Structure 1
Amino acid sequence: MIRVGIADDQEMIRLGLRAILSAQPDMEVAAEAADGLSAARLAAHGGLDVLLMDIRMPGIDGVEAIRRIRRDLPGSALRIIILTTYGHDENVLNGLKAGANGFLGKGVGPDELADSIREVAAGGGALSAAAAHVLIGHVGESRDVVADPALVRLFDELTTREREVVQAAVNGLDNAQIARDFYLSPLTVKTHANRAMTKVGARDRAQLVSLAFRAGFRPGD
């Protein structure tokens, strides 16, 4: 059972998320917080597998709460997904740098949300298409455009299907969209993505996209 915490200052949002997640056979909402400080305390108490974190909250915001969690609990296995309406570039970058394992918009559907939680709980990452494009743009601006030969060699070890899945992730597609495009099941797509992450040493989907860009992958290829 995946134990999920919800940190959001809007009660209606928390109620909606609780209803969605409580309907999943493998999830339970174990705790809730209405501000950033309370969210950090939830993490400190332990017992959660995944924490859904809003950005804009009273006290400290979600990004600062994540920074404190990662600083104060360096060995924690807690996985954190930012779930927000504020998908601005700086929020994406700051959230991922602070230690978030995923970034999703609140417009995400119930099935995609549940699948993202499962993926993150299993050690993967979850990025909305918009967040993936922001990450790619940041890497492109901050690094030389010449591909890193060592990373190129690592990605050359991927199978054809694994490379196709990586390219689709670079294009900003989620697992469900990749599955539809390649006529595969979402589970098969996840398997290919996880194998690719293992082979190139990526800790999650965000880092996989970043490493792929540095290996020469580009959106639209």
Structure 2
Amino acid sequence: MIRVMIVDDQEMIRVGLRTMLEAHPDIEVAAEAGDGLLALRLLAKTPVDVVLMDIRMPGIDGVETTRRIRRGHPAEEVRIVVLTTFDHDENVFAALRAGANGFLGKGVGPAELTTSILEVAAGGGALTPAATAALIDHVARDAGSRPEPEIARLFETLTPRELEIVEAVVSGLDNAEIAALMSVSPFTVKTHANRAMTKVGARDRAQLVTLAFRAGIRP
């Protein structure tokens, strides 16, 4: 059973997320919090596997809450998924740097939400096509147009198949779509993606996309 904490200052959003999550037999909503400080207190006494974290909240925001969670809970212990509106929230990238493992839009549907939670809990990262596009857009604004040689050299260590899968990930495809495109199983895709992340030092899919873009890999 995957235990989830929902952190959002809007009760209606928490209700909606809880309803979608609890409809899945392998997911349990173990705790809810309306602000970051309460989330930290609850986390100290309530074991959870995944935190769904809003960015903009009263008190300390989602970025600072994520940073504080990471001080006592490594990614192997607690996974953090940021909830955002993508285009209107620059802070989501600060949250990724603070230790979040991915991000989803607040308008996410039940199937996408539960699939993302299961993927993140298993060690992956929540990064939908819309999220990938938003991430690349912001990275492109911050990064130069030329590839960074040191990062590009990391990607030269990948096998042709691993590089092919990285390129597909950067294009916004999920594991199932990549598997169908390459006529392999989703498990095979996940295995190659995980090996690529290990080789380039990416902790999750979001960081893999960021590094790939800086290495000159474009969608």
- State whether TM-score is above 0.5: yes
String of CA shifts for 1:32-69, please: whole Å, max 9, x gaps: 11222212222333511100012233333222322232
1:71-82 equivalence runs, <5 A: 71=71, 73=72, 75=74, 77-82=77-82
Q: State the one-letter code of the partner of 2:192.
A: H
- TM superposition shift of 1:101: 0.9
Paired position in structure 2 for 1:22: 22
2:132 is matched with 132
Q: Residue 110 of structure 1 corresponds to which residue in structure 2?
A: 110
- Identity over the aligned pairs, expressed in percent? 67
| 1:5 aligned partner | 5
1:82 Cα deviation from its structure 2 partner: 0.9
Shift of 1:74: 5.5
- Distance in 2 of aligned mates of 1:25 and 1:81: 20
* Conserved? CA contact 2:9–2:34, under 8 Å: yes
Partner of 1:91 in structure 2?
A: 91
Instruction: Name stretches of at least 5 consecutive residues in structure 2 with no aligned partner.
Output: none
**Which amino acid in structure 1 is aligned with residue 215 of structure 2?**
A
How has the CA–CA distance of structure 1 residues 119 and 169 changed in structure 2, closer, same or farther, with 3 Å as cutoff?
same
Measure, in 2, the Cα distance between the counterparts of 1:211 and 1:6: 29
Q: SS at the partner of 2:90?
A: helix
The offset of 1:75, in angstroms, is 4.4
What corresponds to 1:70 in structure 2? 70
Number of aligned residue pairs: 218
1:101 corresponds in structure 2 to 101
> Structure 1 residues 182 and 10 mapped into 2: Cα distance closer, same or farther (>3 Å)?
farther
Aligned residues: CA RMSD:
2.6
Superposition TM-score, scaled by structure 1 size: 0.83
- Stretches of structure 1 that go unaligned for 5 or more consecutive residues are none
Tell me the secondary structure at the aligned position of residue 173 of structure 2. coil
Question: Do the aligned partners of 1:40 and 1:66 also contact (CA within 8 Å) in 2?
Answer: no
Deviation at 1:113, TM superposition (A): 1.5
